[in-house]
Structure 1
Amino acid sequence: MSDVHARRPIKVLVVDDDPFVRAGLVDLIATDDGLELVGEAGDGRAAVETASRLRTDVALVDIRMPVMDGIAATGALRALPWPPAVAVLTTFDLDEYVYGALEAGAAGFLLKDTAPDEILRAVRIVAEGGAMLSPTVTRTVISRFHRPDAARTRTARAAAARLTPRERQVLATLADGMTNADIGDLLRLRESTVKAHVSRILTELGVSNRVQAAMVARDLAS
């Protein structure tokens, strides 16, 4: 059978100021035939320069780095003409910088001691447009660091008014960090239908990922 339709590897950029952490992530990526290392960088600015030159699907980005930290790097990477999905890495599960990175457009949140298989799974999930945060982490990060803003809430209400009643139900579940499968079980919908609803919700709300949509849902509930 022809291999013409085989999927191309997911191109990954590793960004961390610790050379030992970078080396470990590089070695891990090499174990998966579906992934391809496009480059590595020791700070956010170098990461943005690399991603602007080389096609990058996913950037694994450390939060605390010199020159340009993970928050600024996430925003800059997401602003590129062909933006990579970003999964942020941190040593702390409640690092306040993580919220900033999520607000800047990060689609994933990973502790550095996450199991190797889970890191590889996260790369695939965010490459496909999903979000890699456990429901517990999503709820905790949003609850602890999210601060409602009156102007943002007015904007959120106007955007939510364009959603169908079912889409508003789905949006409410995102605030609890529920997965597509969980939402499907709760609302008795096919997972593919949930995915379609989430896609339209992101478009109508003008956000780039479901974590940001969850923040909007929290604004609406405030």
Structure 2
Amino acid sequence: MEINWDFELNTIELACTILAWMVLAFWLWRIYNAQHIEERPDLWKVIFTVFIGLFSFSLTLPLFDEVLSLAVLPLGVWILYGILKRYERWQAYRKYAWIGFLGNYIFFGAAILAIGLSGLVYPKDSIETYLADVSNVELIPIHPSGKKVDLNITKLQESLVTFEHEQSNVVQWYEEIREQKWPTEENKEPGKAQEKFPYLLTGVKAKAGEHVQVYVELDGKGLLVTTEDRQYYFRSNTASFLKERGSEE
């Protein structure tokens, strides 16, 4: 049985978030049921207290190529303490306020778990993570220097396994284009720059459901994948999946 991972949402992140809420709910249920009936606050008040307790001052940490928030100051707990202490109800709700704050660490752990699992299911160094389905892709020229070519979808599908992740040298690419564009001592007139990635693939579907843009190198052997926060360069040594317009290949 083949599992279809092509959802609009990253199913791993969603599953880990749901798991975190379930752990928090189970912890709350255990504490609430262990409390004597005559001492229990109303359940809706307890749930509201937990939600307020989640509010915190957080530090932003770059981890595993992602940006995560780590709670450090219990703002929600302080707010509840200031309000409930005046009505002498703090002792009844204190443990639930702290459950809310500590729940931030449950979600932090779930986020790290999601990153680890996503790395296994959606490896960032695999082109098939970003081009999960190419049956409906189209090639669009986005720069005048692009040649008049057509996309050979069959060859593209067959050659995906040959693409390997390589380090992109953006600075070098920029310098190459700059040298073409600006006049030199030998050539006083500025020339027409040859764009390195003059084509765009549209209709691309990624495994994780994220929005990506895929640019095609001039020779049809390189792909530059742009996500919301990063770029990945893939290169193949096989024949180009571009064909000259009018060619029967």
Question: TM class by shorter-chain length?
Answer: under 0.3
Q: TM-score, normalised by structure 1?
A: 0.22
Q: TM-score, normalised by structure 2?
A: 0.20
Q: Name whichever structure is richer in helix by fraction.
A: 1
Which structure has the larger Rg over C-alpha atoms?
2
Q: Which has the higher contact order (CA 8 A, sep 6+)?
A: 2
